[in-house]
Structure 1
């Protein structure tokens, strides 16, 4: 994870699947760069208006010394007789220009619902690849998008037939040319995303000659490390299955076509959780307007979606922030184990509310500013919001009562390491204590003040959690923690 990740102050925290009605799982809030870094990155990309600059040739070209031109071989980007090769004449530029055109053609074909145009430049000899691209087209047509377009993003690797330098003007012997290039599918789901988010693919194409429009011969996901944000977002639900989609006013549910009936049954439950979550927020504008939810009963898919294979096998769900093309977070994708929604009718709405709370506030994330806000705030806030309309459960009070009785309650909110351990009992204590900390703040200062405190802290307004507590509640942090510890002992 990049050091300037705006979510570095929210370390990954996981919680196991459990039958406890309040139990909530992992919220992954990582994989983003700082706004300063992003601004620099996107500023550079915005300026790469030509294939020449996209390939890194944006420095002024200094012509060769005429007296030396004949005594040395031409360098990259130079003619054989000396002098720079015009950008448009370079092999790499020709190829990239054609892939730019291909990206535009496929974007227009998707918008217009023209499957034939979408598949026109796909290698017809590779029937499996054609079928996969046809399925992708059909899946994407089922999803409501405000934005849906492909754009080349660089990281171009060009191989010529004769091994010549792709930065030279190509002879007939240089062709055909094979090229790999990162291509972002920039998309914004209607009513869900606050800005476009890129899913990055690697297209492989073959260009027969200097005027051939090029044929797409392969497409796979890019590596996270090869993207500017450190997050490729591949595979999405539409890359894995023949997709079923259910739309409600505030949710878009996606899953396998064979699970369409289950998806329909859970759609109303998800919409109810969305309505509650949106209505419970008191922290101002800038949050997600709705939610994208992927449901799967396949544990293999659960860990594979969006390259989330680091999610623990015992997790029931997670909310994953998606880097935006022009902002730290453009949207969030939630993934939930469908069995968890059908196995416990009490647990299911809390699970959905918890993950939706993470998704709701994710767009508020500001650039990394050295904030030391702890995991207890992220997880405690989501837990509290999920159950703010009901009293504390016996499960929570019994769990913390045992901790206090055993002399293991130190009177402090849980450290980040308590959320990261493999000890399930310690993780359970951590989530319960985090919940109690935020609940105490809400009971003492009110929900609106707590939401504002969370929003400002999450946006990076404060350098430390103590600074945030002092500014938000006009009290000494140590005294606040002492009062909270006394309240915990009394409450349980």
Structure 2
């Protein structure tokens, strides 16, 4: 699942920062068609299709939006269109609420969307577009923040915000090109095998894209946007925090991108039924699958807790992943989830772990555990607690 991050990030130890970098994911919000129609009431005099003024405004928007702007020529866009839902006329000015639809060629299985407000001015009897911006309350696109640079990898398309250098974007593309096969190796199920990475100009620009306060992402390396569940995914994006990402080692960056790519790969199998400990633990398991780091190195917060006698009594609950609370507790939730998936892969086999992931998205967890592992929640929890005690004694 892609949990919503909430609250204000507290100051963390370096170890906790690295853990939290292992990756919180956020849902795409504010871009549904309903956002356009519901955000403004059409004027009584200019909303109907029979109204000649509204009809002229709609026609002007259609003509203007027949192709992407020249400034976006480097971005591989297709299916570019604006669907006007409401028109408001104020003298020689008009404001059209519209839904922008587009795809990134070769990456988007279904159109991405953006609620827009198009401003027009009438001169000489005709309407001309003078501004195009996010509709009130809607999230901006990367290009709303300034010029966008493009770097292509074998498996990745990297879009950089204003001021991002070609060198830094090329490096991220190369790192993503390693992360995609790593995610595919951990999740050998059909998925696109490609990723779009957005690198905004700054932490503040990242927060604006996601519609959340900047403090929620301070210290994090990246997040993922997207919808869970079966069906075409119109907007799977990995969004990099240029400040947090730049502070990581090469290994840390690879872990982050593999984790995030695993969320993209497993998106269709992830539903509201999927426990957070399983979705986040699986992504970490994929990220560390080929690593030779020990559990104590990967899970320092949990190791400290167990060694002082604080052995967790249950697998991490959804509440344990709430961002903005106790950083050590959040770290333990992620670390414990990783160790649970690691245990399943080692005791029952990697195939069983994958089957559990798929089954838990369709059925109840008790049914999924019984069908795939032949155990119940109590049995898995007991085995997990015994494994923690053994690893961190």
Cα displacement (A) at 1:422: 2.2
The aligned counterpart of 1:355 is 260
The aligned counterpart of 1:196 is 111
Residue 27 of structure 1 pairs with residue 32 of structure 2:
no
Q: Which runs of 5+ in 2 are unaligned?
A: none
Q: Which runs of 5+ in 1 are unaligned?
A: 1-6, 49-54, 57-75, 78-86, 111-117, 119-136, 162-175, 225-231
Match of 2:311 among 379, 403, 409: 409
Residue 215 of structure 1 pairs with residue 128 of structure 2:
yes
Counterpart Cα distance in 1 of 2:287 and 2:64: 42
Cα displacement (A) at 1:32: 8.7
Normalized against structure 2, the TM-score is what?
0.82
Cα displacement (A) at 1:323: 9.3
Cα displacement (A) at 1:107: 4.1
Counterpart Cα distance in 1 of 2:346 and 2:105: 36
- More divergent stretch after superposition (99-108 vs 441-450): 99-108
Structural mapping, 1:103-182, within 5 Å: 103-110=61-68, 137-138=70-71, 140-145=72-77, 147-154=78-85, 156-159=86-89, 161=91, 176=92, 178-182=93-97
Match of 1:101 among 48, 55, 59: 59
Counterpart Cα distance in 1 of 2:277 and 2:6: 9
**Are the aligned partners of 2:94 and 2:119 in contact in 1 as well (CA < 8 Å)?**
yes
Match of 2:365 among 460, 465, 477: 465
Counterpart Cα distance in 2 of 1:297 and 1:242: 10
The aligned counterpart of 1:262 is 168
Counterpart Cα distance in 2 of 1:13 and 1:446: 35
Counterpart Cα distance in 1 of 2:60 and 2:192: 32
The aligned counterpart of 1:272 is 178
**Are the aligned partners of 2:228 and 2:267 in contact in 1 as well (CA < 8 Å)?**
no
**Are the aligned partners of 1:188 and 1:196 in contact in 2 as well (CA < 8 Å)?**
yes
Cα displacement (A) at 1:208: 5.8
Cα displacement (A) at 1:380: 1.0
Match of 1:481 among 357, 381, 386: 381
Cα displacement (A) at 1:184: 2.3
Is the partner of 2:260 in helix, strand or coil?
Answer: helix
In the alignment of these two chains, the number of paired residues is 379
Cα displacement (A) at 1:235: 1.8
**Are the aligned partners of 2:157 and 2:197 in contact in 1 as well (CA < 8 Å)?**
yes
Residue 377 of structure 1 pairs with residue 271 of structure 2:
no
Residue 90 of structure 1 pairs with residue 51 of structure 2:
yes
Alignment RMSD (CA, Å): 3.6
**Are the aligned partners of 1:375 and 1:416 in contact in 2 as well (CA < 8 Å)?**
yes
Cα displacement (A) at 1:309: 3.2
**Are the aligned partners of 2:164 and 2:201 in contact in 1 as well (CA < 8 Å)?**
no
- More divergent stretch after superposition (266-275 vs 432-441): 266-275
Cα displacement (A) at 1:389: 1.4
Counterpart Cα distance in 2 of 1:467 and 1:98: 58
Match of 2:343 among 431, 440, 443: 440
Cα displacement (A) at 1:349: 0.5
The aligned counterpart of 1:428 is 331
Counterpart Cα distance in 2 of 1:296 and 1:89: 43
Counterpart Cα distance in 2 of 1:159 and 1:482: 66
Normalized against structure 1, the TM-score is what?
0.67
